[in-house]
Amino acid sequence: MSLKSDAQRWGSLAKFFHWTIVLLIIVQGVLGLYMVELPKKPSIIPYYNLHKSVGMIVLALAVLRLAWRAFDPRPAEPASTPHWQALGARAGHALLYGLLFAVPLSGWWFDSVTALRPMAFFGLFEIPHIAAPNPELKQLAHAAHEWGFWLLVLVACGHAAMAFVHQFVNRDGTLARMLPGRGGELATAPAVATSLKPASTLPENDHAESPSAAAIPAADPAARDPGA
């Protein structure tokens, strides 16, 4: 399995970022919703510290993920994807990236304006505040964090639903090629290779310069992903 993505498959690092972040966001959502319901006693502090520390890891992973994406262009869209759908997917992914930053940053902002106590990363070192204490902004920061989270949940559910439609209705292997450990299998699966559009015709294809992408044959409507 290659670290880098190519015209047909996601690389293992892109997959690692995708699924680690998904997992941590689920943990963060559950922990966040649980901890705010607890009675306001000192015993809640470890939950808050854990939430803030894991949230900072999500933020760091989002930065690394986007930086890696600059060096690791995404694979081509399946040939069956209509133009409007490819544009919609692109907008949805951009929104997801935006929320990946907005949610932890708004949490950090909320923590800073309330400034109850310094934020300690897993008790190891202090993380500075990003804004001065300001009780007037507390409500706004809280709303941004809470509603940003619910918007992320909504967009991610739509995004996951589209991944399932691609995989099980269109049967173009979109989900399979993002799953961990399946890169090698898809590399040799002719059905997936032939279901990709030629690189030059794709609106959301960053491999247009790649000779291997340009060599991908046009769609075969009969082609089906055997892993689907």
Of the ranges 129-137, 152-160, 188-196, 219-227, which one interacts with ligand HEM (CB under 6 A)? 152-160
Residue 222 CB, shortest distance to ligand HEM, in Å, is 22
Residue 105 CB, shortest distance to ligand HEM, in Å, is 8
Kindly tell me which residue out of 175, 186, 196, 213 binds ligand HEM, with binding defined by CB under 6 A.
175
Residue 135 CB, shortest distance to ligand HEM, in Å, is 14
Residue 11 CB, shortest distance to ligand HEM, in Å, is 11
Residue 208 CB, shortest distance to ligand HEM, in Å, is 15
How far, CA to CA in Å, does 42 sit from each of 48, 49, 65? 10, 12, 36
Interaction residues for ligand HEM, span 7-26 (CB under 6 A): 18, 22, 25
Q: Establish if 130 lies at the interface with ligand HEM (CB under 6 A).
A: no
* Location of structure tokens 């304006």: 113
CA pseudo-torsion sign 129, 135, 141, 143 = positive
CA pseudo-torsion sign 27, 33, 35, 38 = negative
Q: Establish if 216 lies at the interface with ligand HEM (CB under 6 A).
A: no
Q: Please give the structure tokens belonging to residue 72.
A: 């690791």
Under the rule (CB under 6 A), what is the footprint of ligand HEM? 18, 22, 25, 28-29, 32-33, 36, 48, 51-52, 55-56, 58-59, 69, 74-75, 93, 96-97, 100, 103-104, 107-108, 110-111, 119, 142, 145-146, 149, 156, 159-160, 163, 174-175, 178
